[in-house]
């Protein structure tokens, strides 16, 4: 039988809160340490214990990180989804299943490996049987696929750092699973794991953790937050780093952390911080941003630096709290009532999560306006291979903030909202300084910050704000381009779609279609994006949402003569993007447009 090495997907069906996550991470880490390009997706419920969870491990020598089109190996532990998971399998798939579950194995067209997982687990530890069951299937998979003990042991040691008893228990459980498979099965499926030479050292990293570390290196001074999935681990990441990176020998910190009473208060607090001259940030998700709208408008209108990280989950409303989507973009860009326009920066990799983490503060202080970092659950909460973080290449940019009396006195015609440099960005002084005190307000104001309802004042203010934010576009992270010389179709995408685009591209290329790619990394739209569109006959905007939100923004802002050549492919079902779905939709759209 021909073997299939490093090109298959394992789907592990368990129940939430049974400890399966640590078992699955051991599996993932051991494959990673063998040099196998691998990605893991945790499809978890909004629940602490009992509801179904799936963990998808994709092995791909091509480096594909999306979940893939189908399951090749199904691990069945959860009775609740047993029938459904089993029925969904293609003939020839492999099923590793817990024969103690008393559930039927009624498929004869699959390769079946029944394992008495519960019994084996109980034999080791009656008390911890539920937890151990998960490690048993990892041991069995290791035997069936050829994962080395060396890789497993290293992963176990990493997972249970320094906890000798946990390491021993898990190592023994792995052996139980491995030995059972060795003694009872003759391998009849083609799937194997092969070690690969590791050319570039990498480590696993979650996007939220990377943003958190980036914020620390961005000099965050106030984290005000309210817990919400899937952003909590971003805030907790910052809290986790503070003792080591931002605390002196007396245990005193240079960053305040306040768990607010709600998202409104969290937003208010970071505005207070920005107003006082500090670097404040919050981390939330769509529902939190919805609640923060009023303050976002105030930050825009009163020109208060403030950094908001939105780890997008599925909306609208409470939506699917533990699933992923790119559906907050339009809300971020035009947040709050009235005419607004906000800077949004959109990382697509964990390295960028770190970089944008620190950069967000510089941009916000430079332009004296709220800055939104847009991540999503897929990027934020799953583990991605990371090459390491690059130290900021520029000093902290504190913007046009006047801190010295002599500098202030040398200024002519100062007004808090007066555009002295012609770039729309005014100068500011800080509370407590005694320099040019004003009463900040969300009401209309003149260049001196004095209340005004005069038509000329309002019009000029709104125009300056527009010019200011528009003026930022080419100073924000530029799009990343991969252009085909002969390609006449361009694809614009953003954020976590980065991790699926290569596979989409390969599927398209297999049909004979070569497309160029442009990954947008910020709003307002960089001028390079328009140039990219002009270089192509047709451009598809690829998004993980229903309505094509970036497409909508482009349609409104691009010059009329090219609007017609930009088309939307938007799709979302809550799952991380699967390449084939998007590739097929791109092909359909091209066909429709070309008719």
Partner 1 sequence: MSDKPARAIKLNVINEPKDSYKGGPSSLCPGCGHDQISNVIINAAWENGIKPHRIAKMSGIGCSSKTPAYYLGQSHGFNTVHGRMPSVTTGAYAINKDLLYLGVSGDGDSASIGIGQLIHAIRRNMDMVYIVENNGVYGLTKGQYSATADVGSKKKKGKANETQPIDLCALAINLGCTFVARSFSGSKKQLTSILKAAMSHKGFALIDVISPCVTFNNNDESMRSYQYVKDNEITLHMADYIPHFEPMAEVEVPEGHFTDITLHDGSTIRLETISDNHDPSDSMAALTALHEAEVEKKHVTGLLYFDATKPSLAEDLGLVETPLLDVSDDQLRPSKDILDTINKEFLNQ
Note whether 442 binds partner 1 by CB under 8 A: yes
What CA–CA distance (Å, rounded) separates 33 from 40? 14
Contact between 202 and 385 under an 8 Å Cβ cutoff? The reply is yes
Q: Which of 91, 251, 338, 422 binds partner 1 (CB under 8 A)?
A: 251
Stretch of 86-94, 293-301, 517-525, 542-550 lying at the interface with partner 1 (CB under 8 A): 293-301
Note whether 262 binds partner 1 by CB under 8 A: yes
Note whether 249 binds partner 1 by CB under 8 A: no
User: CB within 8 A of 549, min separation 6: which ones?
Assistant: 326, 327, 329, 330, 543, 570
Q: In which element (H, E) is residue 133 found? A: helix 129-145
Task: Name the minimum Å distance from CB 252 to partner 1.
Answer: 4
C-alpha closest to that of 75 among 173, 7, 149, 141: 141
Note whether 227 binds partner 1 by CB under 8 A: no
- Three-state DSSP class for residue 308: strand
Contact between 118 and 129 under an 8 Å Cβ cutoff? The reply is yes
Note whether 20 binds partner 1 by CB under 8 A: no
User: CB within 8 A of 252, min separation 6: which ones?
Assistant: none
Note whether 158 binds partner 1 by CB under 8 A: yes
Task: Name the minimum Å distance from CB 296 to partner 1.
Answer: 11
Contact between 194 and 5 under an 8 Å Cβ cutoff? The reply is yes
33, 52, 68, 505 from 499: Cα distances, Å = 20, 25, 12, 11
Stretch of 276-284, 466-474, 502-510, 556-564 lying at the interface with partner 1 (CB under 8 A): 276-284
C-alpha closest to that of 304 among 442, 471, 470: 442
Site string for partner 1, 391-430 (x = CB under 8 A): xx--xx-x------------------------------xx
Nearer to partner 1, 327 or 429 (CB): 429
Task: Name the minimum Å distance from CB 176 to partner 1.
Answer: 26
Note whether 294 binds partner 1 by CB under 8 A: yes
What CA–CA distance (Å, rounded) separates 532 from 562? 11
Query: How many residues contact partner 1, by CB under 8 A?
Result: 71
Q: Which of 268, 286, 380, 479 binds partner 1 (CB under 8 A)?
A: 268
Note whether 217 binds partner 1 by CB under 8 A: yes
Task: Name the minimum Å distance from CB 133 to partner 1.
Answer: 26
Note whether 248 binds partner 1 by CB under 8 A: yes
C-alpha closest to that of 322 among 55, 43, 52, 571: 43
Nearer to partner 1, 31 or 86 (CB): 31
Nearer to partner 1, 50 or 431 (CB): 431
Q: Which two structure tokens, joined as six digits, stand for 500?
A: 């699926």
Site string for partner 1, 322-361 (x = CB under 8 A): ------------------------------------x---
C-alpha closest to that of 476 among 561, 556, 397: 397
Residue 480: phi, psi to the nearest 5?
Answer: -100, 130
Nearer to partner 1, 188 or 254 (CB): 254
In the DSSP assignment, the letter for residue 504 is H
Task: Name the minimum Å distance from CB 278 to partner 1.
Answer: 3
**Strand residues in 6-153 grouped as ranges (E):** 7-15, 38-43, 52-60, 73-76, 94-98, 111-115
Note whether 34 binds partner 1 by CB under 8 A: no
Task: Name the minimum Å distance from CB 27 to partner 1.
Answer: 17
Which residue is it, tokens 């209108």? 301
Q: Which of 182, 196, 337, 441 binds partner 1 (CB under 8 A)?
A: 441
Q: In which element (H, E) is residue 480 found? A: strand 480-482
Contact between 428 and 416 under an 8 Å Cβ cutoff? The reply is yes
Stretch of 185-193, 198-206, 369-377, 461-469 lying at the interface with partner 1 (CB under 8 A): 198-206
What CA–CA distance (Å, rounded) separates 8 from 439? 62
Task: Name the minimum Å distance from CB 441 to partner 1.
Answer: 4
Residue 73: phi, psi to the nearest 5?
Answer: -125, 120
Stretch of 167-175, 240-248, 545-553, 585-593 lying at the interface with partner 1 (CB under 8 A): 240-248
Nearer to partner 1, 432 or 559 (CB): 432
Nearer to partner 1, 220 or 489 (CB): 220
Note whether 270 binds partner 1 by CB under 8 A: yes
Nearer to partner 1, 458 or 571 (CB): 458
Site string for partner 1, 48-77 (x = CB under 8 A): ------------------------------
Nearer to partner 1, 174 or 269 (CB): 269
163, 270, 354 from 399: Cα distances, Å = 47, 17, 21
Task: Name the minimum Å distance from CB 264 to partner 1.
Answer: 6
> Sheet of 566-570: strands edge to edge?
480-482, 515-520, 489-494, 538-543, 566-570
Nearer to partner 1, 278 or 335 (CB): 278
Binders in 378-397 for partner 1, by CB under 8 A: 386, 388-389, 391-392, 395-396
Note whether 162 binds partner 1 by CB under 8 A: no
Q: Which of 338, 432, 455, 559 binds partner 1 (CB under 8 A)?
A: 432
User: CB within 8 A of 250, min separation 6: which ones?
Assistant: none
Nearer to partner 1, 408 or 571 (CB): 408
Note whether 264 binds partner 1 by CB under 8 A: yes
Nearer to partner 1, 175 or 355 (CB): 355
For every residue of 347-416, which 3-state class applies, written as one string?
CCCHHHHHHHHHHHHHHHHHHCCEEEEEEEHHHHHCEEEECCCCCCCCCCCCCCECCCHHHHHHCCCCCC
């Amino acid at each position: 039988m021909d073997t299939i090495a490093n090109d298959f997907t394992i789907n592990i069906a368990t129940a939430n809160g049974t400890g399966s996550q640590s078992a699955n991470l051991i599996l993932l880490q051991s494959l990673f340490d063998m040099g196998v390009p691998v990605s893991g997706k945790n499809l978890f419920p909004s629940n602490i214990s009992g509801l179904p969870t799936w963990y998808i491990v994709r092995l791909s020598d091509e480096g594909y990180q999306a979940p893939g089109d189908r399951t090749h190996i199904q691990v069945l532990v959860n009775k609740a989804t047993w029938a459904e998971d089993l029925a969904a399998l293609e003939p020839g798939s492999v099923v590793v299943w817990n024969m103690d579950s008393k559930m039927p194995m009624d498929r004869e067209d699959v390769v079946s490996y029944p394992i008495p997982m519960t019994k084996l687990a109980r034999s080791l530890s009656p008390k911890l049987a539920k937890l151990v069951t998960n490690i048993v299937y990892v041991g069995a998979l290791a035997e069936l696929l050829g994962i080395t003990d060396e890789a497993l042991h290293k992963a176990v040691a990493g997972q249970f750092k320094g906890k000798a008893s946990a390491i021993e228990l898990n190592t023994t459980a792995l052996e139980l699973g491995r030995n059972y498979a060795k003694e009872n099965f003759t391998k009849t499926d083609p799937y194997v794991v092969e070690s690969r030479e590791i050319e570039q050292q990498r480590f696993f990293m979650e996007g939220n953790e990377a943003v958190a570390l980036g914020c620390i290196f961005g000099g965050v001074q106030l984290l005000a937050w309210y817990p919400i999935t899937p952003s909590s681990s971003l805030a907790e990441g910052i809290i986790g780093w503070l003792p080591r990176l931002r605390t002196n020998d007396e245990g005193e910190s240079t960053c305040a952390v306040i768990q607010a009473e709600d998202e409104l208060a969290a937003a208010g607090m970071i505005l207070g911080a920005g107003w006082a001259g500090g670097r404040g940030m919050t981390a939330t998700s769509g529902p939190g941003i919805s609640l923060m709208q009023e303050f976002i408008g105030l930050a825009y209108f009163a020109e208060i630096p403030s950094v908001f990280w939105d780890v997008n989950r599925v909306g609208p409303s409470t939506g699917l709290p533990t699933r992923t989507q790119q559906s907050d973009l339009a809300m971020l860009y035009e947040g709050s009532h009235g005419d607004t326009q906000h800077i949004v920066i959109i990382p697509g990799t964990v390295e960028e999560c770190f970089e944008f983490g620190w950069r967000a503060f510089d941009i916000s202080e430079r332009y004296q306006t709220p800055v939104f970092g847009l991540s999503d659950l897929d990027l934020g909460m799953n583990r991605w291979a990371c090459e390491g973080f690059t130290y900021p290449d520029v000093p902290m940019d504190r913007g046009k903030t006047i801190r010295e009396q002599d500098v202030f006195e040398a200024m002519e015609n100062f007004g808090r909202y007066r555009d002295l440099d012609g770039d729309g960005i005014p100068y500011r002084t800080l509370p407590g300084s005694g320099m040019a005190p004003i009463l900040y307000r969300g009401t209309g104001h003149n260049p001196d910050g004095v209340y005004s309802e005069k038509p000329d004042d309002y019009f000029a203010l709104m125009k300056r704000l527009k010019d200011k934010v528009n003026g930022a576009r080419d100073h924000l992270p530029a799009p990343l381009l991969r252009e085909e010389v002969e390609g006449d179709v361009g694809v614009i995408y953003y954020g976590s779609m980065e991790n699926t685009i290569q596979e989409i591209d390969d599927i398209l290329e297999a049909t004979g279609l070569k497309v160029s790619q442009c990954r947008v990394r910020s709003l307002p739209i960089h001028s390079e994006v328009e140039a990219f569109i002009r270089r192509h006959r047709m451009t598809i905007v690829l998004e993980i949402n229903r309505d094509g939100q970036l497409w909508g923004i482009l349609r409104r802002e691009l010059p009329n003569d090219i609007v017609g050549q930009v088309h939307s492919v938007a799709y979302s079902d809550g799952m991380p993007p699967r390449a084939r779905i998007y590739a097929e939709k791109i092909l359909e759209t091209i066909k429709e447009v070309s008719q």
